[in-house]
């Protein structure tokens, strides 16, 4: 065994690091929280690859040069002194067996262009959430065989990461949500979680750092101490906690009030089915339809197919559907109704008051201590997109309209919650003014039932 390999193994990697060293999948991400030994794991992994595969070409990237120098260049120069030649001009370590570790940084979006046309069997992105999705995809084009390897090898990419940052969404999609697109294979993506509690060295030698993480504000503590990918700075709904709001499915009792909310666009039809008990003690979102490229007639058929034969009190739908359309002079409601969708009414579309109401439902507890708002795992797109909403940088208290794909299911939730005649903990007697609000709401287009029967539940 090479002396460097002996040195690395003598450091006694803890279990997540050992799993990272052994991982050979085409895409492997490691970390998720502060203090999980990410930088060491990445350096050790790349050195082991360089020593074990003569001729391998490796590219290691950080976002900025100061980070690259402090986290990798300086430590590697110490570790590899006398074993690999460091070339300052080209920022690379050259091994006697022909292997090479090239170090670089991508401070600006266009910096990735310098790697076009180059070939690396291994590309490593340290703090991957600091890179954009476009930079990631551009780098995948350079992740291929170089021709100097003396043995078969499958090109691969390695990532270390924490929640947050400009690349949070794409890293979370691939490695946490595992929401794959065409051409992406589930078996190619492996995530190895690690927190400070896995890091035996820090736990033993620097307990003050652990206390620092434990003392962070609640939202940041969830992300940095526990590696919670649903908690990050800039998140529009920091109140959302998947471990709290995702509920084990249960049979909706017969006496619960059932209704739905529909956000329709040709790019996406998002419909959520919801229910609450007569005592208004909780709200369950128990079913969803989330499909692109549906014309209204097809959207109607899919709503009926997904919803089955159950009776709904009403469907709060995108208010623009109530307007007449140039093609045929019919409204969207007319088209949906003619294809069997009943009980449509225009949703209240005041965005900021609607978002505020969602916050009330997310924050509220049931009498037994559970979350007032419960979302079934069958509503995977609501669970996926709700924590991805960001603040609009130009409009206080509003959610950003882009990426647009993240807005559909949350908008449907907003329509549904805005249609309710109560807030968590309220009774009808406590807010008599809500009778007028509901009368006005259903007077704008409610069909096939009056408001009176609705508000008395």
- Cβ atoms < 10 Å from Cβ of 107: 12
Q: Which of 138, 128, 123, 130 is nearest to 107 (CA)?
A: 130
Are 204 and 261 within one domain? no
pLDDT in tens, 88-116: 999 999 999 999 999 999 988 788 989 98
27 with 80, same domain: the answer is yes
Q: How many CB atoms lie within 10 A of CB 259?
A: 20
**Separation of alpha carbons 376 and 246, rounded Å:** 6
Say which DSSP state 71 is in: I
With respect to residue 233, please indicate whether it lies within any of the assigned structural domains: no
Does the residue 230 lie in any domain?
Answer: no
Band (427; pLDDT cuts 50, 70, 90): low
Whose tokens are 């007028």? That residue is 436
Please indicate, yes or no, if residue 238 is contained in any of the structural domains: no
Stretch (H or E) spanning 264: strand 257-264
Pairing of strands 84-87, 92-95: antiparallel
Same domain, 217 and 249: no
Helices and strands in the chain: count of H runs, count of E runs: 18, 14
- Would residue 232 count as lying in a domain? no
Under the banding of pLDDT at 50, 70 and 90, the label for residue 166 is: confident
Residues 195 and 320 in one domain: no
Collapsing DSSP to helix, strand or coil, 5 comes out as helix
Percent of the chain with pLDDT over 70: 89
* Same domain? 144 vs 89: yes
Domain closes at, from 192, 224, 256 = 224
Q: How confident is the model at residue 446 (pLDDT cuts 50, 70, 90)?
A: very low
Output the domain CATH number for residue 129: 3.40.50.300
| Residue of 312, 185, 310 lying closest to 258 (CA atoms) | 312
Hey, is 127 helix, strand or coil? coil
For 171-239, the DSSP string reads HIIIIIS----TT--GGGEEEEEE-GGG-HHHHHH-HHHHHHHHTS-HHHHHHHTT--TT--TTBS-TT
Q: Is 204 in the same domain as 321? A: no
Q: Domain of 41?
A: 3-224
235 domain residue, yes or no:
no
Q: CA 429: distance to chain centroid?
A: 40
Both 207 and 335 in a single domain? no
Asked if residue 179 is part of any domain, the answer here is yes
Interatomic CA distance for residues 144 and 233, integer angstroms: 35
Does residue 134 sit within a domain? yes
What values do phi and psi take at 415, rounded to 5?
A: -60, -45
Domain match, 72 and 168 both: yes
Same-domain pairing of 274 and 397: yes
Which ranges of 85-171 would DSSP assign to H, the alpha helix? 133-140, 168-171
Give the range with max mean pLDDT: 4-13, 29-38, 385-394: 29-38
| Confidence band for 447, pLDDT divided at 50, 70 and 90 | very low
Distance CA 51, CA 63 (A): 26
Residue 60 pairs in a beta bridge with: 103, 124
* pLDDT tens digits, one per residue of 193-209: 999 999 988 899 899 99
The span from the first CA to the last CA of the chain, in angstroms, equals 74
The alpha-helical segments, DSSP class H, found in 250-323 are 296-307
Domain annotation covers residue 229: no
369: which residues sit within 8 A by CB, 6+ positions away? none
pLDDT score at 161: 94
Q: Say which residue, 36 or 435, is predicted with more confidence.
A: 36
Closest of 319, 318, 264, 272 to residue 292, by C-alpha:
264
Predicted local distance difference test score (pLDDT) of residue 3? 54
How would DSSP label each residue in 319-385?
Answer: GGGGSB-TTTT-BHHHHHHHTT---EEEPP--HHHHHHHHHHHHH-B-TTSSBSEEE-TT-HHHHHH
pLDDT at residue 45 above 80? Answer: yes
Last residue of a domain, one of 224, 258, 281: 224
Please report, for the domain that includes residue 377, its CATH number: 3.30.420.280
The predicted pLDDT at position 333 comes to 94
Give CA–CA dist 18/9, Å, rounded. Answer: 9
The pLDDT value recorded for residue 408 is 96
User: Cα–Cα distance between 143 and 13 in angstroms, integer?
Assistant: 27
Domain co-membership, 255 together with 397 = yes
Which of 167, 195, 224 is where one domain is finished?
224
Q: Which residues of 411-436 are buried (b: 16+ CB within 10 A; e: fewer)?
A: bbbbbbbbbbbbbbeeeeeeeeebee
Whether residue 184 sits in one domain with residue 61: yes
**How many domains does one find in the chain?**
2
Tell me, yes or no, whether 178 and 278 share the same domain: no
Contact between 56 and 233 (Cβ < 8 Å): no
């Amino acid at each position: 065994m090479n002396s460097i390999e002996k040195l690395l193994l003598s450091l006694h990697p803890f279990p997540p690091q050992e799993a990272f060293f052994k991982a050979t999948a085409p895409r492997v991400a490691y970390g998720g929280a502060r203090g999980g030994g990410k930088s060491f794991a990445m350096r050790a992994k790349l050195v082991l690859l360089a020593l074990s595969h003569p001729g391998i070409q490796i590219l290691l990237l950080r976002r900025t040069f100061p980070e690259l120098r402090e986290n990798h260049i300086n430590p590697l120069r110490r570790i590899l002194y006398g074993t690999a030649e460091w070339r300052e001009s080209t920022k690379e370590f050259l091994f006697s067996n022909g292997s090479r570790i090239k170090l670089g940084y991508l401070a600006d979006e266009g910096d990735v262009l310098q790697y076009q046309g180059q070939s690396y069997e291994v590309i490593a992105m340290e703090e991957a959430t600091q890179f954009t999705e476009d930079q990631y995809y551009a780098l995948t084009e350079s992740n291929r065989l170089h021709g100097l390897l003396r043995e078969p090898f499958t090109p691969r990419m390695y990532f270390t990461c924490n929640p947050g940052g400009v690349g949070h969404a794409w890293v979370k999609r691939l490695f946490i949500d595992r929401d794959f697109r065409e051409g992406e294979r589930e078996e190619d993506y492996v995530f190895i979680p690690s927190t400070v509690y896995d890091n035996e060295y820090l736990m033993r030698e620097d307990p003050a750092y652990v206390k620092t993480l434990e003392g962070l504000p609640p939202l940041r503590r969830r992300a940095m101490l526990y590696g919670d990918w649903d908690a990050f700075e800039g998140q529009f709904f920091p109140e959302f906690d998947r471990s709290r709001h995702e509920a084990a499915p249960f049979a909706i009792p017969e006496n619960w009030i059932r209704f739905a909310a529909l956000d329709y666009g040709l790019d996406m039809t998002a419909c959520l089915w919801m229910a609450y008990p007569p005592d208004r003690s909780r709200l369950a979102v128990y079913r969803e339809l989330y499909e692109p490229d549906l014309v209204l007639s097809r959207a109607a058929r899919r709503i009926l197919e997904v919803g089955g034969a159950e009776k709904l009190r009403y469907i709060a739908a995108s208010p623009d559907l109530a307007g007449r359309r140039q093609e045929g002079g019919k409204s969207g409601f007319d088209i949906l109704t003619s294809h069997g969708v009943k009980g449509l009414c225009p949703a209240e579309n005041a965005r900021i008051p609607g978002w505020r109401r969602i916050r009330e439902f997310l924050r509220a507890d049931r009498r037994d201590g559970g979350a007032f708002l419960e979302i079934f795992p069958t509503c995977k797109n609501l669970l996926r997109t709700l924590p991805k909403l960001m603040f609009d940088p130009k409009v206080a208290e509003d959610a950003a309209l882009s990426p647009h794909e993240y807005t559909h299911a949350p908008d449907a939730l907003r329509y549904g919650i805005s249609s309710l005649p109560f807030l968590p903990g309220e009774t009808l007697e406590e807010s008599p003014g809500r009778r007028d609000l509901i009368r006005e709401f259903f007077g704008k287009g409610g069909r096939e039932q009056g408001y009176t029967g609705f508000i008395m539940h």
